[in-house]
């Protein structure tokens, strides 16, 4: 039976820090999207106050219809030519020390948007050489050449989310074979010498063995960093939450993942793909 009541550990405080509003105002002035807003991330205040942000390039309309995601679906507009430069200007103006660049899935584009990722990474590098850049990419339809375009741009971390366990791919409206495709993306990125990262959301009806297998599969792909978070239903049209995991259960999963060889793991009810991304990167460098 689906869970019906959110536990108190999922409550978040409203943003009040001045840096949050400064980031918000500048993004509005430059007409930029963030996954923080589009996906209704509960950590938006926490991250913006830390001077980290996740930019959503290539518009805010996704060509896929995953059952868990709050991002709008439909037919997207053509990419805006100066978007990479506007992202770079925002990063420089805000003095961001760590930035995550992600996108909606653009199956309508021949390269899935890989060239825009590369252009945006390059523009940020030129404008803010000291800023670390993480690329959180879609699977590009399994196009290895598109992945190479992003990797040649030199992101500090290549992030691609596995999202959920293999047995639930059809439930979230993804072809079952896409599970292996996502693992292949991470394996190819790791072989290039780029640090890799992935994320899982739990609470969709998986069992402990499912989670352990997904973590093991990611470890075998060479993945360095992992995020584990609670799935939260964005709206009534999305899949319901089947279980709310406790902070103690997340800590146990974190220890399991570290025992399988991950360099660092962020696990908790409110953890998302970009949660304290700078801290995970720093931990990777230290180890």
Q: What are phi and psi of 175, to 5 degrees?
A: -60, 140
* Structural domain includes residue 7: no
Which residues, in sequence order, are bridge partners of residue 34? 55
Estimate the crossing angle of helix 247-259 against helix 208-220, to 10 degrees. Answer: 40
So what's the pLDDT on residue 141? 95
CATH number, domain with residue 252: 3.20.20.70
Is residue 215 included in any domain, yes or no? yes
Q: Which two tokens stand for residue 26?
A: 């500048």
pLDDT at 46: 60
* The pLDDT value given to residue 71: 76
Q: Using CA atoms, how far apart are residues 59 and 35, in angstroms rounded to an integer?
A: 11
107's tokens: 């199956």
Cβ neighbours of residue 166 under 8 Å, at least 6 residues apart?
Answer: 176, 179, 210, 213, 214, 217
CB 240 within 8 A of CB 2: yes
pLDDT in the model for residue 235: 80
**CA quadruple 114, 190, 212, 230: dihedral sign:** negative
Contact (CB, 8 A) for 242 and 205: yes
Q: Would you give the DSSP letter of residue 167? A: G
Q: What is the dihedral of CA 150, 98, 94, 26, to 10 degrees?
A: 60
Q: Assess if residue 5 is contained within a domain.
A: no
Q: Element (H or E) spanning 133, and its range?
A: strand 132-136
Asked if 113 and 150 touch (Cβ cutoff 8 Å), the reply is no
Q: What are phi and psi of 11, to 5 degrees?
A: -75, 140
Q: What per-residue confidence (pLDDT) applies to 234?
A: 82
Kindly state whether residue 29 falls inside one of the protein's structural domains. Answer: yes
- Could you identify the residue written with the tokens 């999305």? 238
Q: Would you say residue 171 lies in a domain?
A: yes
CA–CA dist 266, 240 (Å, integer) = 24
pLDDT (0 to 100) of residue 48: 59
Residue 183: φ, ψ to 5°? -65, -35
pLDDT-flagged residues of the chain (< 70): 1-2, 4, 12-51
Q: Does residue 1 belong to any structural domain of this protein? A: no
Beta bridge partner(s), residue 200 = 163, 228
Q: Which domain holds residue 187?
A: 14-286
Q: Give the number of domains in the chain.
A: 1
Whole-model pTM over 0.85: yes
- The conformation of residue 163, written as its DSSP 8-state character, comes to B
> What pLDDT score does 38 carry?
46
The answer to the question of residue 3 being in a domain is no
Q: Report whether 228 contacts 210 (CB < 8 A).
A: no
Q: 247-264 burial, b if ≥16 CB within 10 A, otherwise e?
A: eebbeebbebbeebebbb
Query: Do residues 58 and 33 touch, judged by C-beta distance below 8 A?
Result: no
pLDDT value at position 180?
A: 98
82 part of a folded domain: yes
Q: 122: helix, coil or strand?
A: helix
Residue from 263, 267, 220 nearest 246 by CA? 267
């Amino acid at each position: 039976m689906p869970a019906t009541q959110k536990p108190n550990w999922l409550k978040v405080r409203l943003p009040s820090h001045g840096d949050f509003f400064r980031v918000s105002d500048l993004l509005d002035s430059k007409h930029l999207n963030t996954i923080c807003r589009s996906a209704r991330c509960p950590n938006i205040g926490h991250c913006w106050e830390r001077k980290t942000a996740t930019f959503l390039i290539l518009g805010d309309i996704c060509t896929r219809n995953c059952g868990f995601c709050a991002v709008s679906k439909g037919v997207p507009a053509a990419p805006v030519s100066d978007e990479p430069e506007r992202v770079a200007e925002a990063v420089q103006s805000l003095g961001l020390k760590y930035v995550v660049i992600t996108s909606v899935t653009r199956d309508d584009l021949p390269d899935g948007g890989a060239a825009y990722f590369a252009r945006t990474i390059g523009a940020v590098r030129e404008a803010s050489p000291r800023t670390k850049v993480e690329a959180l990419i879609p699977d590009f339809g399994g196009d290895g050449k598109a992945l190479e375009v992003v990797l040649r741009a030199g992101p500090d971390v290549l992030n691609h989310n596995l999202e959920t366990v293999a047995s639930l791919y059809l439930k979230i409206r993804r072809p079952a074979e896409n599970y292996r495709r996502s693992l292949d993306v991470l394996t190819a990125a790791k072989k290039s010498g780029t640090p890799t990262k992935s994320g899982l959301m739990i609470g969709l009806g998986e069992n402990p063995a499912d989670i352990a297998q997904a973590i093991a599969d990611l470890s075998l792909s060479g993945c360095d960093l992992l995020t584990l978070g609670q799935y939260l239903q964005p709206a009534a049209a999305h899949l319901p939450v089947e279980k709310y995991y406790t902070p103690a259960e997340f800590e146990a999963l974190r220890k399991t993942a570290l025992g399988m060889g991950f360099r660092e793991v962020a696990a908790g009810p409110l953890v998302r793909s970009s949660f304290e991304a700078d801290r995970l990167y720093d931990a990777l460098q230290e180890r």
